[in-house]
Amino acid sequence: MPKYSIVVPFHNEEENVTTLYDRLKAVMEQGNDTFELVFVDDGSRDRTYRLLEEIAAVDSRVLVIKLRRNFGQTSALAAGFDHAQGEFILAMDGDLQHDPNEIPQFLVKLEEGYDVVSGWRYQRADNFFFRRIPSRAANWLMAALSGVEIHDFGTTFKAYRREVIQNIPLYGEMHRFIPALASWYGASICEIPISNPARTAGKSHYGLSRTFRVFFDLLTIRFLLKYMTRPLHFFGTFGALGILSGSGLASFLLLLKLVTHGHVHQDHAPLFAIATVLLLGGIQMMGIGLLGELQVRHFHTANQRAPYAVDRILRLRSSEESLLQ
Q: Where are the domains of the chain?
A: 4-228, 231-301
pTM: 0.72
Residue type at position 152: D
Residue range 211-239: average pLDDT? 75
Rounded to 10 deg, the angle between the 231-260 and 269-301 helix axes is: 160
How many residues make up the chain in this entry? 325
In terms of Cα–Cα distance, which of 119, 121, 120, 117 is closest to 189?
Answer: 117
What letter represents residue 130's amino acid? F
Got the DSSP string for 77-132?
HHHHHHH---SEEEE--SSS-S-GGGHHHHHHHHHTT-SEEEEEEEEE-S-IIIII
Q: How far is it, in rounded angstroms, from Cα 86 to Cα 38?
A: 10
**Closest by alpha carbon to 9, among 317, 228, 219, 20?**
20
Higher pLDDT, 196 or 63: 63
Q: Which residue has the higher pLDDT, 75 or 265?
A: 75
In percent, how much of the chain has pLDDT > 90?
A: 44
CB 34 within 8 A of CB 3: yes
pLDDT at 323: 42
Greater model confidence, 81 or 217? 81
Min mean pLDDT across 65-69, 107-111, 180-184, 245-249 is at 180-184
Q: State the DSSP H helix or E strand holding residue 212, giving kind and residue range, or none if neither.
A: helix 208-227
CATH superfamily of 4-228: Spore Coat Polysaccharide Biosynthesis Protein SpsA; Chain A (3.90.550.10)
Compute the average pLDDT of residues 10-17.
Answer: 93
Residue from 28, 130, 8, 22 nearest 81 by CA:
8
What is the sign of the dihedral through the CA atoms of 119, 120, 125 and 126? positive
